[in-house]
Amino acid sequence: MRTHRAVAPSEDVWRDCLSIHRGEGGSVVVSKQEGRDDGPSGLLRAVHVFWSTLDVLVVAMFIGMLVVMFVQVASRYALGIGVPWTDETSRFLFIGEIFFGAAIAQRYGAQIRITVLLDVLPDRARLALETLADILMAVIALLVAYGAVGMAQRTSSVTASTLPISFSYLYYVQATGLVLLVLLVLRDIGARIAGKRGSEARS
């Protein structure tokens, strides 16, 4: 007879996917129940959906910025009229794609780097310098994010001149993108340290 495993609240993700029963010779067997998805895969799917949505959002911002700039140029030089909202709209979209795009670039390891010095360093020195650079980037990003939150609080009652949007949203977008960037930098630092320890253990 199968009975569900008694677990602590912190192990809720495993409650529906593990069971304990008696095997041959009275041994205790812990097994996955058929037809159940384990908790971590659900979490990974949620993370994947989040980043996929952010990818689509940034692409939409980029396309929207191009469309708005085309309208701005065409209306001004082809039709001889000005469209006031195009200037602020393109600027706001550009800010969004920059800060969210920085996090996406970090996720894919696509940040632009100059590696002339790193390429000639020994492995240990290269890893140490890369880790130091990541730490500096994380610290600077956190400082800028802190300043962005402060500016958002100060400009919550200030709206754009041609759009019914508070300037605080722009600063919250910056802070959100920078926090995502810091989390990914910390992920990379942890992976680098874990990889170094694994290689040392194998040697």
My answer on whether 84 and 66 are in the same domain is: yes
Domain of residue 141: give its range.
39-202
**27 and 122 together in one domain:** no
Q: Are residues 94 and 169 in the same domain?
A: yes
pLDDT one-digit tens code per residue, 102-126 = 999 999 999 888 888 888 989 889 9
d(CA 138, CA 114): 18
23 and 53 part of one domain: no
Do 74 and 133 reside in the same domain of the chain?
yes
Number of folded domains in the chain? Answer: 2
Q: Are residues 185 and 109 in the same domain?
A: yes
The CA distance from 75 to 90, in Å, is 15
pLDDT value at position 43? 87
Pair 49, 28 in one domain: no
Looking at beta carbons, which pairs linking 140-145 to residues 24 or more positions away fall under 8 Å? 141/178, 141/181, 141/182, 141/185, 142/178, 142/182, 144/174, 144/178, 145/174, 145/175, 145/178, 145/179, 145/182
Q: Give yes or no: residues 52 and 144 share one domain.
A: yes
Q: Are residues 163 and 71 in the same domain?
A: yes
Regarding whether 46 and 25 lie in a shared domain, the answer is no
Q: Which residue stretches of the chain have pLDDT < 50?
A: 1-23, 25-36
Residues 15 and 111 in one domain: no
